[in-house]
Amino acid sequence: MTAAEEALTLLRQPDRYPRSAAYDPEWLLSLDMGPNPLWLLEDLCRDLDLRPGMRILDLGSGMGATSVFLAREFGAEVVAADLWVAPETAARVFAEAGVADRVRAVRAEAHTLPFDAESFDAIVCIDAFEYFGTADNYLPYLVGFLRPGGRLGVATPAMRREVRDLGAVPPHIKACVGWEAIAWHTAEWWRFQWEITELVTVTAARLQEHGCDDWLRWARAGLARTGSTTNESVVAMLAADRGELLTFALLAAVKAGPR
């Protein structure tokens, strides 16, 4: 087995992520914009109660693997909104995956979303909220697009302690992402940040126990596939961390009001 083939086998974890295991790892890596999006989404969905026919906003959908998953696994009608990826590019992914009738790609900036108020049953955001969602006024803005009783689910890189409490970004993390890690908050930070608004009830705010291991599997597979220095530096960061600080936060909330 070549190193690349071996790395791909790391991307199948049927016991932990049975639904994601049905997706071709090569296909997933070809859409790579960030770590293991389907594993994050599958785990997050355990807290979201998604139902067939729901209208879901996939915010920061990137190349769209998560939107395909939402359409196929939950029979959802999905709006895939992203800033960096052209809608035509994402639309090709949706057509090839056979979900073009249920997923619409839209170019959107997270602070000026082109949607009607209360027009979604759920909003999910996988590995993108850290780019735009940490400001005090962002949750209040975003939940305006959810119907009362609608669900919000976020999966985002996290640390087990706040950088503020550590006093600095730890060197092995700084070497890879620099100041960006100040947005990698603990689950409790997010819980407070959301609950204090009284606009949502937080139904789950947890750190993935095995998040660092999952992330390392993904980064190693990406490195074997591309040989890129970016992947190399992510692998070095995660291998040095060994899960002491780095993982993902999975956050779920329900918008206040009648369901």
Residues 6 or more apart from 70 whose CB is under 8 A from it? 41, 50, 56, 58, 76, 78, 103, 124
Question: DSSP secondary-structure letter at 250?
Answer: E
Distance separating alpha carbons of residues 144 and 40, to the nearest angstrom: 25
Interaction between residue 83 and ligand SAM (CB under 6 A): yes
- Kindly state the tokens that stand for 29: 């890596």
Query: What is the C-alpha end-to-end distance of the chain, expressed in Å?
Result: 52
DSSP label of 169: -
Q: How far is the CB of 238 from ligand SAM (least distance, A)?
A: 15
What's the rounded Cα separation, in Å, for the pair 103 and 97?
A: 10
Build a one-symbol-per-residue string for 127-166: x at contacts with ligand SAM by CB under 6 A, - elsewhere.
xx--xx----------------------------------
Between 25 and 37, whose beta carbon lies closer to ligand SAM? 37
Q: Which one of the spans 124-132, 219-227, 228-236, 250-258 is the region binding ligand SAM (CB under 6 A)?
A: 124-132
Contacts to ligand SAM from residues 88-117, by CB under 6 A: 108-110
Of residues 2 and 112, the one with the C-beta less far from ligand SAM = 112
β strands within the chain, DSSP E: 55-59, 77-82, 103-107, 120-126, 146-159, 200-207, 246-255
Q: Binding string to ligand SAM for residues 35 to 74, with x set by CB under 6 A, is what?
A: --x----------------------xxx--xx--------
Q: Which is nearer to ligand SAM, 10 or 83 (CB)?
A: 83
Residue ranges in contact with ligand SAM by CB under 6 A: 33-34, 37, 60-62, 65-66, 82-85, 108-110, 126-128, 131-132
